[in-house]
A and B are shown apart, each in its own frame.
Chain A
């Protein structure tokens, strides 16, 4: 059969219409008897390495819920958008999800930069954003539910533990040069001083920079007995390697990190991290049946028998269940109803019991400390006896008795005083 051009165009146009139509009707038809949610992570670009795993965990939770009968008998429909590792794209996609798709909730973001970019959209349209990553705090929004750790949930047990159990007195604080490590350093200093130790340096290296020669030499000559690392991203690998290559050992001078996770350990080679510590609410090594089953399901879902799970990934997973319970409690899927519903919501996550604090919409989490072994996995050496209340303004003196961020919003007077 020979096509001439006109015929080709006609057939092509027909075929295109035929292909396009089902999706067109599909969305309109499904919308009535399903609940749509937005999922917004970077599926391309530099951050896609980690954000894709967060999107996978979110999708996995949604598929599990759908398989178990959905929310209030309705299936959840995912509108998946790509933030492309770029805060501006994040803002555009968030507007699209909130204004055009009119989803009542979006799950998304890994970096603070992308969260800050979408925040005004959710506040202006009074929509709801679920944010799964540990972050620096200093935020109080009634339009965001934060399910990752804030500084006090990574440090409030870590620093006293280092001082008491490891007997360390002189801290060298090192981080990447941007807001998260700098805020973490503030909290570190408060806690170090409160526990009767001292910090002798507070140094930064450019984000993404991987030349550690001078910094490690400084650590070596500074006379410190413990290094507190808030270094993030790909610099972590070069840092640990340089540390060992300059003859330092974690036995005498351990690196105690807040961000080094299973992913970075695998990339640097576990031999460079053996004996160092990290503080997170979740580790792949948590030895419970819930967690083991979770890891198994995740590996099956992404079709990779060696896939690694980590804190932000786990939060991405359980926050969908918190959302589901909130919708069911509220009885309707509107942002306001879900927000009221999510307050005080509890769930048994892979890391243990979690609860959304009604006051500031952050999440109670259990801080844990792990020591890295030769197999690239952590051994949990200390866990807080119970989930810790989240204090996003702890660097500015917030305590549980004196909250800066409450249901009424941020108390600016306290922040200044």
Chain B
């Protein structure tokens, strides 16, 4: 039974890892960032590329992936999203377009493949990321074999969640972000540089996606389409948790992960997914604002 709960917890941590960034960009800024999955993919490819070209290990690529994804996120905010605040559906369409651009850039090796030049680590194929030996296999607690890599993901997710909480609730810039969530115009009137804070927030959310990408690359397949399915799960977590609530995202990721794990072990994975979707629908019907919601002013 404990092994099933552990798998549930692991599923939850993976959901949360992707959702953390979204909780910030969607929850806090009201931007439906469809390119979030692609930022995860960029993080994964950063791991591949830094392994091949910089000879860096898996762990060393975490900060690089954060910086690359954050930089890309910052660019997206400056070039596209900045013009679309307050227009929810337009952000969806625009960032979807950005997502396709990023995907094709990776697939076509930034256009070099048209010229017959091939860059190792890019292109339409599957990529291989090697994971350090101490993260492979299992360790045992009592008579329970724990999957080391999944335990590692849980730790990383927990650390990032705490970090994000700390930034949001214990730093001056976090307070500014929260002020903007509640009421951007009033925040601006109080002297907060909304433009700058928004750009930084978006970059930070994107950077989190980059780290999620590194984690995913260690046990999932790295290829240009990998982000597409993740962004859907990420939005489920954020919507169920309540837009703008970090605690809500944590709770809903835990809930959906455990439901998935339990149902899958009792029946099968296909049914588990259906049950998860049914639960999501039920929660949205009963609590349209999500599990945790605040009153906007």
Q: Does B10 contact A (CB under 8 A)?
A: yes
Interface, chain A (partner B; CB < 8 A): 46, 48-49, 52, 177, 203-206, 208-211, 213-215, 217-218, 221, 234-238, 241-242, 244-247, 263-264, 266-269, 271, 303-304
Q: Does B171 contact A (CB under 8 A)?
A: no
The answer to whether A49 touches B223, judged by C-beta atoms less than 8 angstroms apart, is yes
Q: Which of B137, B261, B268 is close to A244, meaning CB atoms less than 8 Å apart?
A: B137
Q: Does B289 contact A (CB under 8 A)?
A: no
- Binding site secondary structure of chain A: helix
Q: Does B200 contact A (CB under 8 A)?
A: no
Q: Does B273 contact A (CB under 8 A)?
A: yes
The answer to whether A304 touches B118, judged by C-beta atoms less than 8 angstroms apart, is yes
- Binding site secondary structure of chain B: mixed
The answer to whether A247 touches B138, judged by C-beta atoms less than 8 angstroms apart, is yes
Of chain A, the residue at the smallest CB distance from B149 is: A245
Q: Does B214 contact A (CB under 8 A)?
A: no
Min CB distance A190 to B, Å, is: 23
Min CB distance A200 to B, Å, is: 14
A304–B116 alpha-carbon span in the complex (Å): 11
The answer to whether A245 touches B136, judged by C-beta atoms less than 8 angstroms apart, is yes
Min CB distance B41 to A, Å, is: 13
Of chain A, the residue at the smallest CB distance from B126 is: A267
Q: Does B166 contact A (CB under 8 A)?
A: no
The answer to whether A244 touches B4, judged by C-beta atoms less than 8 angstroms apart, is no
Query: A241 contacts which chain B residues (CB < 8 A)?
Result: 218-220
The answer to whether A49 touches B220, judged by C-beta atoms less than 8 angstroms apart, is no
A268–B272 alpha-carbon span in the complex (Å): 26
Q: Which of B118, B150, B225, B229 is close to A213, meaning CB atoms less than 8 Å apart?
A: B150
Min CB distance B184 to A, Å, is: 37
Of chain A, the residue at the smallest CB distance from B118 is: A304
Of chain B, the residue at the smallest CB distance from A272 is: B136
Q: Does B270 contact A (CB under 8 A)?
A: yes
Q: Does B142 contact A (CB under 8 A)?
A: no
Given A49-B124, A206-B273, A245-B149, 11 more contacts at CB 8 Å? A49-B125, A210-B221, A213-B10, A221-B3, A234-B226, A241-B219, A245-B147, A247-B137, A263-B125, A267-B126, A268-B128
Given the known A-B contacts A177-B270, A245-B219, are A217 and B3 also in contact in the complex, defined by CB atoms under 8 Å? yes
Q: Which of A215, A238, A269 is close to B130, meaning CB atoms less than 8 Å apart?
A: A269
The answer to whether B268 touches A204, judged by C-beta atoms less than 8 angstroms apart, is yes
The answer to whether B220 touches A213, judged by C-beta atoms less than 8 angstroms apart, is no
> Can you show 16 pairs from A to B with CB atoms below 8 A apart?
A46-B225, A205-B270, A211-B269, A213-B261, A214-B4, A214-B261, A214-B265, A215-B269, A234-B221, A241-B218, A242-B219, A244-B137, A245-B148, A245-B149, A266-B128, A271-B130
A246–B219 alpha-carbon span in the complex (Å): 12
Q: Does B264 contact A (CB under 8 A)?
A: yes
The answer to whether A234 touches B269, judged by C-beta atoms less than 8 angstroms apart, is no
Min CB distance A251 to B, Å, is: 14
From 1 to 30 in chain B, residues with beta carbon under 8 angstroms from any chain A beta carbon are 3-4, 7, 10-11, 14
A338–B187 alpha-carbon span in the complex (Å): 77
Min CB distance A86 to B, Å, is: 14
- Contact flags B215-248 to A (C-beta < 8 A → 1, else 0): 0001111110110010000000000000000000
Given the known A-B contacts A205-B269, A245-B138, A267-B127, are A238 and B220 also in contact in the complex, defined by CB atoms under 8 Å? yes
Q: Which of A49, A206, A217 is close to B270, meaning CB atoms less than 8 Å apart?
A: A206
Of chain A, the residue at the smallest CB distance from B145 is: A247
A237–B220 alpha-carbon span in the complex (Å): 7
The answer to whether B138 touches A234, judged by C-beta atoms less than 8 angstroms apart, is no
A303–B116 alpha-carbon span in the complex (Å): 9
Min CB distance A377 to B, Å, is: 15
The answer to whether A213 touches B273, judged by C-beta atoms less than 8 angstroms apart, is no
Query: A214 contacts which chain B residues (CB < 8 A)?
Result: 4, 7, 260-261, 264-265, 269, 272
